[in-house]
Amino acid sequence: MPRTPAENERIRQATKEQILKAAMELFFSKGYHATSIDDVAKTAKISKGLLYHYFKGKEDLIAALVDLRLQDLLFVMEAAAAKPTPAEQIRHIAEGALEDVRRKPEVFRFYLNLFTQPRLDPVVAKYSQRLMDEQEKQFEVQTEMFTKLGVANPRKRSIYFSSTLQGIMLMFSTYPNTFPLDEVKAQVIEEFCSP
Amino acid sequence: MPRTPAENERIRQATKEQILKAAMELFFSKGYHATSIDDVAKTAKISKGLLYHYFKGKEDLIAALVDLRLQDLLFVMEAAAAKPTPAEQIRHIAEGALEDVRRKPEVFRFYLNLFTQPRLDPVVAKYSQRLMDEQEKQFEVQTEMFTKLGVANPRKRSIYFSSTLQGIMLMFSTYPNTFPLDEVKAQVIEEFCSP
Amino acid sequence: MPRTPAENERIRQATKEQILKAAMELFFSKGYHATSIDDVAKTAKISKGLLYHYFKGKEDLIAALVDLRLQDLLFVMEAAAAKPTPAEQIRHIAEGALEDVRRKPEVFRFYLNLFTQPRLDPVVAKYSQRLMDEQEKQFEVQTEMFTKLGVANPRKRSIYFSSTLQGIMLMFSTYPNTFPLDEVKAQVIEEFCSP
Amino acid sequence: MPRTPAENERIRQATKEQILKAAMELFFSKGYHATSIDDVAKTAKISKGLLYHYFKGKEDLIAALVDLRLQDLLFVMEAAAAKPTPAEQIRHIAEGALEDVRRKPEVFRFYLNLFTQPRLDPVVAKYSQRLMDEQEKQFEVQTEMFTKLGVANPRKRSIYFSSTLQGIMLMFSTYPNTFPLDEVKAQVIEEFCSP
DNA sequence: TATGAATGAGCTTTCATTCAT
DNA sequence: AATGAATGAAAGCTCATTCAT
């Protein structure tokens, strides 16, 4: 008797997750190009063939990871938007971003690396672009928050805020052991979360 | 009739530069992994064999590019150190960095990409490390400047300054057409160059 | 409640036919090598596993198709042999063959393609051989017909007849839209069906 | 000192020929699909890499072979056209074709196999098409010859001639040991080369 | 009878590097 | 100093077939 569709679906999801987990682990530590499909399959303890049963190819793996990342970013943004005051909203963005990088600096590092990929890389560029597009969308929302906060030049303020935040995350993910994240975080919040 | 040794040396230097120029052009636009040795040789209009005569391999090319970059960074730092007052020194660092990224955003982007390379990439990681080491050294010098400037917590201030600067460069190199670099630059200088 | 054995048998036959129909459709249009087992199963709307339940493998599919083809050829030959006079017998062969190719040029094309397969193709060659063997057997029967017809050199005549017929079928199946099959058929019959 | 361009060209041509010869040998005996690039490289006694240095891929090999074939066909046709009378022209076509298949039945067989490839085979179909196109062009020329010969319905006559010729070649290449080519050839010439 | 997840051998192709000249 | 023919390891991917259910 064949497995039930539900059972199959369960197996599918479990295996896909297993594969994505392996891909993450390897991409994060060795990078996309230095990771081979064979590596991923071995790490996920499945055959290469099965990997191709679930993903169209190596590129599909990074596409899936980028999708997950975009969901995460969106999630933080939505949680921020749900806050009652603009000050709290901006504070949530800052804290969300900084706590995220604190927990998994190498993950941030990986996506930043993807983000800074040369624009003509034949495979990776399009995922870099997706991340940039999302960031741009979120930037608009964030500018609106600064407007409501009542600062003088909200667009410029928003840019400066994003730059500072990105810079901190970049620095922290580079020197996770020595960077004084708490202090810096406090200063950011002090500086940007009051009108 | 054989060339003179001096003539030979001139040709050698010219050819090496030609190769490095080609490598830069390609690495900056397509990235290290997507660029093949064949590409570099063709772009430099020389044979693959000759390329291997001057450079040990593909990795040696990126090593040379990183060396050039380190020289550039050092040069800015030395010029800054030569300024009479700490305020001017810090201002020079900020202006040097920002004008550099303004001129060649894709170059900064490339080195930032290298900088954020996963730590276990078997070939690229070590150049990533070199850039990090140099940045750390410069950070110490810069902290000294902030000390002389007389700010309360110079180490923290220096970190915050670096983060901001790096963040701005990252953002500008991502959105070179819309980022208001002049305004932001003015603000940075205002914020960090007075005690 | 279990199915009756008769019911089971009916389902078996229906499924096998479904699979063979799918295989035909795909082999005829894309060819044996370009058709995957997955294609066949999907087209037949059954699972891969079930396909393997009914057929030993991909090769078994082509074996079944060749068997069907041989039956068809045999059928025409037997119908011809049943005709009262040799002239009518030969005429029946010609008409049978030409009407067959008229109806399904791509089918003839496929078997001709199989027929002309290189002799060392590790999987397909043996089916090519079967078709050749059958044709040879039929050729003997046909030569006997020409003998009865009373032509001078019946063997040579039979060969010439077969060649002409095969040539016409080849040409028609290549240019089904422009080839004047009726005219040519009439000429063939005129030329070969009188002593 | 590097090799001279002329010397390089000589090496290139020799190696390319070596590869094409190996490809022919294998394609003719095992078929396109059953022949791997590895087979070809091993037979040509070169590395796989070198094969790709000279040919873009497996498909490029068959493209080259088809080009050679088209040249051969064209050559026969031009030689025929150079004959003074239409009867001699047609005779030359018949003899050219039949002598060619006599010499290398497996070559004809291979190209016929290619010619009869299913129309949707993703790689091979286009070369099949090229052969068909060329045959159609030659058919027009041949029809003109029959017109000059003064037969009643030259187009039909030309079709019938081509069909017969193709049929003979098909039969001979199938049964090269028993097919009475000389006799049949004589009959063809008798039948088609007089007004 | 029926499913589709899972395997693994083998394929085409790329590319850093070497080597004869 | 200079060329480009030649190599070979390793990559991404396909697919006939098997197997647990």
Q: What DSSP assignment string belongs to B93-160?
A: HHHHHHHHHHH-HHHHHHHHHHHTS-TT-TTTHHHHHHHHHHHHHHHHHHHHHHHHHT-SSHHHHHHH
CB-nearest partner of D166 from C123, C159, C167: C167
Q: Nearest-CA neighbor of C111 among C80, C71, C160, C65?
A: C65
C179 pLDDT higher than 90: yes
pLDDT in tens, D167-177: 999 999 999 99
Share of chain C above pLDDT 70, in %: 98
Q: Do A112 and B117 touch (CB under 8 A)?
A: no
- Cβ-based contacts of C162 with chain D (< 8 Å): 167, 171
* Residue A18 token pair: 């297993």
Q: Encode chain A (195 residues) as per-residue pLDDT tens digits.
A: 788 999 999 999 999 999 999 999 999 999 999 999 999 999 999 999 999 999 999 999 999 999 999 999 999 999 999 999 999 999 999 999 999 999 999 999 999 999 999 999 999 999 999 999 999 999 999 999 999 999 999 999 999 999 999 999 999 999 999 999 999 999 999 999 987
pLDDT in tens, D75-101: 999 999 999 999 999 999 999 999 999
Nucleotide of closest approach to B12 (CA, C1'): F1
Q: Nearest-CA neighbor of A118 among A105, A108, A110, A127?
A: A127
Quick check: C164 contacting D, CB < 8 Å?
Answer: yes
pLDDT in tens, C13-38: 999 999 999 999 999 999 999 999 99
Q: Nearest-CA neighbor of B123 among B52, B61, B43, B70?
A: B61
- Taking the C-alpha atoms of residue A62 and residue A123, their distance in angstroms, rounded to an integer, is 10
D151 pLDDT higher than 70: yes
Distance from A125 to chain B by nearest Cα, in Å? Answer: 9
Quick check: C28 contacting D, CB < 8 Å?
Answer: yes
The whole-chain average pLDDT of chain C stands at 95
Q: Does any strand E atom come closer than 7 Å to the Cβ of D52?
A: yes
pLDDT in tens, C135-175: 999 999 999 999 999 999 999 999 999 999 999 999 999 99
- Taking the C-alpha atoms of residue C45 and residue C61, their distance in angstroms, rounded to an integer, is 16
Q: Does any strand E atom come closer than 7 Å to the Cβ of B31?
A: no
- Cβ-based contacts of D106 with chain C (< 8 Å): 118-119
B1 pLDDT higher than 80: no
- Taking the C-alpha atoms of residue C23 and residue C21, their distance in angstroms, rounded to an integer, is 5
CA to C1' distance (Å), from D43 to F14: 25
Q: Does any strand F atom come closer than 7 Å to the Cβ of A12?
A: no
Distance from C167 to chain D by nearest Cα, in Å? Answer: 3
Span C171-185, average pLDDT = 97
A partners (3+ CB pairs within 8 A) are B
Mutate to test the interface with A, among B133, B159, B191 (most CBs of A within 10 A): B159
CB-nearest partner of D31 from C29, C121, C136: C121
State the residue for tokens 């006079």.
C85
Contact D149, D90 (CB under 8 A): yes
Q: Does any strand E atom come closer than 7 Å to the Cβ of B122?
A: no
Kindly report which amino acid residue has its CA closest to the C1' atom of nucleotide E19: B49
* Residue D23 token pair: 């490809």
Q: Do A156 and B184 touch (CB under 8 A)?
A: yes
* Residue C25 token pair: 């459709």
Q: Nearest-CA neighbor of D106 among D2, D25, D13?
A: D25
Q: Is the pTM of this model over 0.85?
A: yes
Choose the weakest-confidence range: B186-195, D16-25, D95-104: B186-195
- Taking the C-alpha atoms of residue C113 and residue C99, their distance in angstroms, rounded to an integer, is 19
CA-derived radius of gyration, chain B: 20
Helices within A45-85 (DSSP H only): 48-54, 58-81
Distance from D71 to chain C by nearest Cα, in Å? Answer: 21
Q: In chain E, which nucleotides are within 7 Å of a protein Cβ? A: 1-21
Q: Please tell me which residue of chain D has the smallest CA distance to C173.
A: D116
CB neighbour list of residue C30: distance below 8 Å, 6 or more residues apart: C39, D118, D120, D121, D122
Kindly report which amino acid residue has its CA closest to the C1' atom of nucleotide F15: C36
Q: Nearest-CA neighbor of B30 among D71, D120, A125?
A: A125
Neighbours of D155 (CB within 10 A): 15
Q: Does any strand F atom come closer than 7 Å to the Cβ of B10?
A: no
Distance from D145 to chain C by nearest Cα, in Å? Answer: 19
Span C60-67, average pLDDT = 97
Look at residue B2 in the predicted model and tell me its pLDDT. 59
CB neighbour list of residue C127: distance below 8 Å, 6 or more residues apart: C62, C63, C66, C114, C117
CA to C1' distance (Å), from C169 to F15: 34
| Confidence at D195, pLDDT banded by 50, 70, 90 | confident
Span D145-151, average pLDDT = 96
CA to C1' distance (Å), from A41 to E5: 15
Helices within B44-83 (DSSP H only): 48-54, 58-81
Look at residue C3 in the predicted model and tell me its pLDDT. 67
CA to C1' distance (Å), from B11 to E13: 37
Domains of chain C: 1-55 (1.10.10.60), 59-192 (1.10.357.10)
Mutate to test the interface with D, among C25, C116, C131, C173 (most CBs of D within 10 A): C116
Burial label, A45 (beta-carbon count in 10 A; 0-12, 13-18, 19+): exposed
- Taking the C-alpha atoms of residue D186 and residue D182, their distance in angstroms, rounded to an integer, is 6
* Residue C143 token pair: 């030569």
Quick check: D127 contacting C, CB < 8 Å?
Answer: no
- Taking the C-alpha atoms of residue A97 and residue A108, their distance in angstroms, rounded to an integer, is 10
CA angle at C5 for the pair C2 and C8, rounded to the nearest 5°: 80
D148 pLDDT higher than 90: yes
- Taking the C-alpha atoms of residue C163 and residue C191, their distance in angstroms, rounded to an integer, is 13
Nucleotide of closest approach to D50 (CA, C1'): F6
C1 pLDDT higher than 60: no
Q: Nearest-CA neighbor of C142 among C190, C70, C192?
A: C192
Quick check: C112 contacting D, CB < 8 Å?
Answer: yes
Look at residue C2 in the predicted model and tell me its pLDDT. 58
Q: Nearest-CA neighbor of C71 among C21, C17, C134?
A: C134
Burial label, B40 (beta-carbon count in 10 A; 0-12, 13-18, 19+): buried
Chains A and D touch, contact meaning at least 3 pairs of CB atoms under 8 angstroms apart = no
> Chains A and B: how many Cβ contacts under 8 Å?
130
Contact D43, D22 (CB under 8 A): yes
The whole-chain average pLDDT of chain D stands at 96
Q: Does any strand E atom come closer than 7 Å to the Cβ of D11?
A: no
Look at residue A194 in the predicted model and tell me its pLDDT. 83
Look at residue C5 in the predicted model and tell me its pLDDT. 78
Contact D131, D69 (CB under 8 A): yes
C86 pLDDT higher than 80: yes
Contact C141, C81 (CB under 8 A): yes
pLDDT in tens, D106-143: 999 999 999 999 999 999 999 999 999 999 999 999 99
- Cβ-based contacts of D27 with chain C (< 8 Å): 118
Q: In chain F, which nucleotides are within 7 Å of a protein Cβ? A: 1-21
The whole-chain average pLDDT of chain B stands at 95
Span B120-136, average pLDDT = 93
CB neighbour list of residue C1: distance below 8 Å, 6 or more residues apart: none
CA angle at D157 for the pair D152 and D158, rounded to the nearest 5°: 130
CA to C1' distance (Å), from D36 to E10: 10
Tell me the one-letter amino acid at B86.
P
* Residue B150 token pair: 């007389």
For the segment 52-91 of chain C, residues whose CB is within 7 A of strand F: 52, 57-59
pLDDT in tens, B9-22: 899 999 999 999 99
Distance from B2 to chain A by nearest Cα, in Å? Answer: 44
Look at residue A18 in the predicted model and tell me its pLDDT. 98
- Taking the C-alpha atoms of residue C37 and residue C43, their distance in angstroms, rounded to an integer, is 10
CB-nearest partner of D167 from C119, C120, C170: C170
Quick check: B43 contacting A, CB < 8 Å?
Answer: no
- Taking the C-alpha atoms of residue B119 and residue C150, their distance in angstroms, rounded to an integer, is 91
Q: Do D163 and C183 touch (CB under 8 A)?
A: no
CA to C1' distance (Å), from A58 to E10: 19
Burial label, B82 (beta-carbon count in 10 A; 0-12, 13-18, 19+): exposed
Q: Do A113 and B110 touch (CB under 8 A)?
A: no
Contact B16, B51 (CB under 8 A): no
pLDDT in tens, D62-72: 999 999 999 99
CA to C1' distance (Å), from D167 to F9: 49
- Taking the C-alpha atoms of residue B31 and residue A124, their distance in angstroms, rounded to an integer, is 10
